[in-house]
Amino acid sequence: MIDRYSRQTLFPGIGEEGQRKLGNSCVVIIGCGALGTIIATSLVRAGVGKTRIIDRDFIEYHNLQRQVLFNEEDIKAELPKAIAAERHLKKVNSSVEIEGVVSDVNYTNIERLVAGADLILDGLDNLETRLLINDVSLKLQIPWIYGGVISSYGMTMNIIPHETPCFRCLQAGPISRGIALTCDTAGVISPAPFIIGSLQTAEAMKILVGAEAINRDLTMIDAWKDEFNRFKISRRTDCPACRGEYQFLEARFGTRATSLCGQNAVQVLNPEVREVSFETLAKHLGPLGEVNYNEFMLRFRVDNHEMVIFPDGRAIVKNTDEAIARGLYAKYIGA
């Protein structure tokens, strides 16, 4: 024990006392892609007592370019990310608890999944689940660390419930966008998540050991342009979450998926996506699959899936179940 963490306890910011606090801590990492794998491997190595890793996906070859915990054997074994992460990390540090949970995080299960956590870490690729984390964080008074990456840039911010601005304060005004870029449409290079995941890890260690100098700004980086910036964010007086209205947790917002009876198809609705530009969407989706559209609908075929998207943002996904349909919507339409 002493040997394992000796280089870390020598560091004055942590010391023996900080190491004990890390050992008594429980963190929940939601999303185990590039950010999640960096954070999980770092915190397990650092001796965080209990780490729960939640992810709904399996590993694919295009993940290996940046998702450092996984390898080709995991793909051949058809392992979910959460299970592969748990197995690899148990070999790294057998003295701590590591739990992989294969699950889609949504308003029905998030309170149970984060119960008992001292800190929640965001390794997600979609805005909607972050808004859900934000609600549950403020409701249960569990701090969380936002992290997001795309292309060569990324951002991160600590959210300490009722102390710092929250994630909805950061989202200026009502959330209303036609389409958001995602890693699946815009790509991503590994230095961006490596930097953001490392910044999240450092802040996590600081929060867990009770360091005073945590970052209270929004940090933005561009790994390709070598740009690092910090921005002051203010708490919004009209922020529903800060006022105790947990609209995402109460499912007043968010993506709804409904199986269409007798059609073997799922309809996906997201109230925040009110208008979709087919021209823009076709430009993003074109390189990824087969796209054709007219003024009434856009048809997109990719990996044996077929999605039909309507101008109001509604989508019908064929031959699939509700969880996969929601996942495809988050991946390709955004939100």
Shortest distance in whole angstroms from residue 245 CB to Zn ion: 10
- List the structure tokens of 273: 């996506």
Judge whether 170 and 233 are in contact, CB under 8 Å: yes
168 is a site residue for Zn ion (CB under 5 A): yes
Should residue 223 be labelled a site residue for Zn ion when binding is judged by CB under 5 A? no
**How many CB atoms are closer than 10 A to CB 218?**
17
- Pick the binder of Zn ion from 38, 242, 325, 330 (CB under 5 A): 242
Stretch 85-114 residues interacting with Zn ion (CB under 5 A): none
Cα(79)–Cα(90) distance, rounded to whole angstroms?
A: 15
**Does position 170 bind Zn ion by CB under 5 A?**
no
| Residue 133 in contact with Zn ion, rule: CB under 5 A | no
How near is the Cβ of 242 to Zn ion at its closest, in Å? 3
Cβ nearer to Zn ion, comparing 86 with 122: 122
H helices of the chain, in order, are 6-9, 15-23, 34-46, 72-76, 81-92, 110-114, 127-140, 167-170, 183-186, 191-209, 278-285, 322-332
Q: Which is nearer to Zn ion, 243 or 274 (CB)?
A: 243
Which letter does DSSP use for residue 116 in this model?
T
Active site residue 183: yes
For residue 169, state whether it binds Zn ion (rule: CB under 5 A): yes
- Among 241, 265, 273, 276, interactor with Zn ion by CB under 5 A: 241
Size of the site for Zn ion (CB under 5 A): 6
335 is an interface residue for Zn ion by CB under 5 A: no
Out of 54, 85, 110, 166, the only residue in the binding site for Zn ion (CB under 5 A) is: 166
Closest-CA residue to 22 (of 5, 39, 35, 38): 5
Identify the residue among 30, 85, 195, 239 touching Zn ion (CB under 5 A): 239
User: Contact region for Zn ion (CB under 5 A) — 47-55, 80-88, 167-175, 256-264?
Assistant: 167-175
Query: Count of CB atoms within 10 A of residue 186's CB?
Result: 12
Work out how close the CB of 31 gets to Zn ion at its nearest, in angstroms, rounded to a whole number.
21
Q: Is the dihedral of CA 101, 246, 122, 158 positive or negative?
A: negative
CA angle 320, 121, 137 (to 5 degrees): 90
Q: Least distance to Zn ion from the beta carbon of 122, Å?
A: 16
Catalytic residue among 26, 32, 166, 183: 183
Alpha-carbon span 99 to 53, nearest angstrom: 6
Question: Is residue 319 within 8 Å of 325, Cβ to Cβ?
Answer: no
Residue 175 as a binder of Zn ion (CB under 5 A): the answer is: no
Catalytic residues: 183
Interface ranges with Zn ion (CB under 5 A): 166, 168-169, 239, 241-242
